[in-house]
Amino acid sequence: MTTSNHRPRNELGEYLRVRRAAVDPERVGLPRGRRRVPGLRREEVAALAGVSVDYYTRLEQGREKHPSPQLINTLNRVLELSMDEQLHVYRLAGVDPVLSGRTGNSTSAPYLNELMDRWTMNPAFVYDDTQEILAANTLGRALHSPFMRADNFARMVFLDPAGPSFFVEWERVAIDTVGSLRQAWGKINSRHRVETIISELCAESPDFVRMWNTHAVIGKNHQRKSIHHPSVGRLTLDYLTFAIPDAHDHHLLVCDTPAGSPSEQTLKLFLEGDRRILHES
């Protein structure tokens, strides 16, 4: 478990081991044969990446800590990593292409709050790499009213009693949340703060520990989620996430409904109806 109290000494090597175990040998042109462990052997990864077995072994064992960008590219291809997973490997190797040559602060522009407040049909939030909700518009606060503390997406999913009933596909939402935290944890500038929430969740949620140990890395761009709100019933929402250029660790989340869908009509009722939830928001 990679938390501030349980962090392995070799983060890159651990991740490479997990990912090579997930590769189907036949998919990369190798015979499956009889294997004692799943996935690829070290010598097979080394051969596919064009490096010596000794070098790759040292990389996994943490005795080689500075692989070249070219080798990282090759390993990303050999291990069939997604774009989010590739970025994670770069960060574990001490390189963050996203931040290269870029300056920024950690304060979201004030105009975002004003802009979100004008969106009367879109719940909207600003959150940071720790999943902490920094700002929300009126509809966003109303949407999350079933939660005891609507202050952190990860806590809401794993620790709040409302989480499993609010998210119709709770397991999928939960693994997406863990994957997003894992991606943020890979950022050197954010790791210390992210580890605080990871430690809290590991201490209080066995489900989080189980999912965290899968090493899933998932970026948040566009996801469709079904929720059940006690005031209006079921809603299907598109969750759209955007990076905030002026603050590299802050993100804008906007919720929308498919045009002409029953969820769009339900959201209108939610907004326009004389409901206690909106008066209290």
CA of 152: how far to CAs of 26, 34, 82, 184, in Å?
42, 46, 26, 14
What class does CATH assign to 111-280? alpha beta
Residue 173's pLDDT is: 96
Residue in 125, 90, 49 with CA at minimum distance from that of residue 217:
90
- Identical fold, 11-92 and 111-280: no
Sequential DSSP letters for the chain = --STTT--S-HHHHHHHHHHTTS-GGGGT------SSSS--HHHHHHHHTS-HHHHHHHHHTS-----HHHHHHHHHHTT--HHHHHHHHHHTT--TTTTT---BS---THHHHHHHT-SS--EEEEETT-BEEEE-HHHHHHTTTSS-TTBHHHHHHTSTTHHHHBTTHHHHHHHHHHHHHHHHT-TTTHHHHHHHHHHHHHH-HHHHHHHTTT-----SEEEEEEEETTTEEEEEEEEEEEETTEEEEEEEEEE--TTSHHHHHHHHHHHS--HHHHH-
For residue 31, name the pLDDT band (cuts at 50, 70, 90). confident
pLDDT in tens, 224-261: 999 999 888 898 999 999 888 766 688 999 999 888 88
Residue 209's pLDDT is: 97
For residue 279, name the pLDDT band (cuts at 50, 70, 90). very low
| Domain limits, the chain | 11-92, 111-280
CB neighbour class for 56 (10 Å; exposed up to 12, middle 13-18, buried from 19): buried
SS (H, E, C) 119-143: CCCCCEEEEECCCEEEEECHHHHHH
pLDDT in tens, 50-91: 888 999 999 989 888 888 877 888 888 889 888 888 888 888
pLDDT in tens, 118-143: 888 899 999 999 999 988 998 898 89
The whole-number average pLDDT for the span 6-25 is 82
Say yes or no to pLDDT of 100 above 90: no
Q: Which residue has the higher pLDDT, 126 or 281?
A: 126
User: Which segment, 4-8, 99-103, 144-148, 231-235, is predicted with the most confidence on average?
Assistant: 144-148
Say yes or no to pLDDT of 110 above 70: no
pLDDT in tens, 168-210: 999 999 999 999 999 999 888 888 889 999 999 999 999 999 9
For residue 275, name the pLDDT band (cuts at 50, 70, 90). very low
Instruction: For the beta carbon of residue 18, count every other beta carbon within 10 angstroms.
Output: 15
Angular region, 34: left φ>0, alpha ψ -120 to 50, beta rest: beta
Say yes or no to pLDDT of 108 above 70: no
Say yes or no to pLDDT of 49 above 60: yes
Do 138 and 154 meet the contact criterion of CB atoms below 8 Å apart?
A: no
Residue in 240, 272, 274 with CA at minimum distance from that of residue 139:
272
Note the pTM of the prediction, 2 decimals.
0.70
What class does CATH assign to 11-92? mainly alpha
Q: How far is the C-alpha of 254 from the C-alpha of 73, rounded, in Å?
A: 33
